[in-house]
Amino acid sequence: MPVCCNWVFNPVAVKFGKRYLLFLRAEDHSRISHFRVATSEDGIDFQVWEDPAHIPGGPEYDVYETNRYDARITLLDGWYYIMFCSEADLGCRLDLVRTKDFVHYERFPFASEIEQRNGVLFPEKINGLYVRLARPLNQHAGGDMWVSYSPDLIFCGKSSLVMRIRWHCWDEEKLGLAAVPIKTKQGWLCIYHSVRLNGSHGSINSASVCLT
């Protein structure tokens, strides 16, 4: 049956078996965001699954999760790891689940402190550790991109700055990784987006690539 929603935003695309899969943010008529799955045999015509993705919750999560958005999916060791932003009155933070079928989801504790967005896991461990890129957004970090490491996807640290915003440039307001890093002979290829202010017209989004 048709799926009714107010808006659809920021789908992330992955290959799922022989099919193509979109994990998208849908906003219902009450303006609450949830995730839905859509699949396609040819990557052009997609069928949206009738039921929203059931992300496990509970009292320890609900206070932080009025809305969910900006998912990024990493295929690692046979699991699809989905990192996304959860937002409520207290601010936004990164969340993490994993799945093998996009029906059943296994939940991790929150993947970051408050005011973190655009979190992405690398598709392989480096020196035995999981690697995450993300954008802290506060009065000190601005809109810069940081890398952190984790032995178990529960405890995370060894954080350091990767890329800074550039004043009076197209990426002067904030940065964010837009997709999972791709390993090449020259290093990790990272596709990121940015925002710059445009006076009375608000902000403008752009995209670029870098090698790390």
- Cβ-defined contacts of 101-105 (< 8 Å, 24+): 102/16, 102/21, 102/23, 102/37, 102/53, 103/54, 105/53, 105/54, 105/55, 105/56
* pLDDT tens-digit series, residues 30-86: 777 789 999 999 999 999 888 889 988 777 777 777 778 889 999 999 999 999 988
* pLDDT tens-digit series, residues 80-126: 999 998 887 777 888 899 999 999 999 887 777 777 888 999 999 99
pTM: 0.86
pLDDT band at 27 (very low <50, low <70, confident <90, very high): confident
**Which three-class secondary structure state does DSSP give residue 39?**
strand
